[in-house]
Amino acid sequence: RLRLELYTNLDILTSSVNNLFRILSVLVHEQKTLNPIDILIVKL
């Protein structure tokens, strides 16, 4: 039961991180600049 809860929390965390990267990606593309964050997003 504890393990399942941990995986669920990990899922939530993962989707939060993905959403954050998506937002960052949009912001970066809005600026039309290629910076380390943009390169990192492309790698992911």
Q: What is the pLDDT of residues 22-43, one digit of tens each?
A: 988 887 777 665 667 666 766 6
Which residues lie below 8 Å from residue 37, measured CB to CB, with a gap of 6+? Answer: 24, 28
User: What local confidence, expressed as pLDDT, does residue 31 receive?
Assistant: 67
pLDDT averaged over every residue in the chain: 79
Task: Say whether pLDDT at 18 is over 70.
Answer: yes
Q: End-to-end CA distance of the chain, in Å?
A: 31
More confident residue, 8 or 33: 8
**Helix, strand or coil for residue 1?**
coil
**Which H or E run contains 42?**
helix 36-43
Is pTM, for the whole model, over 0.75?
A: no
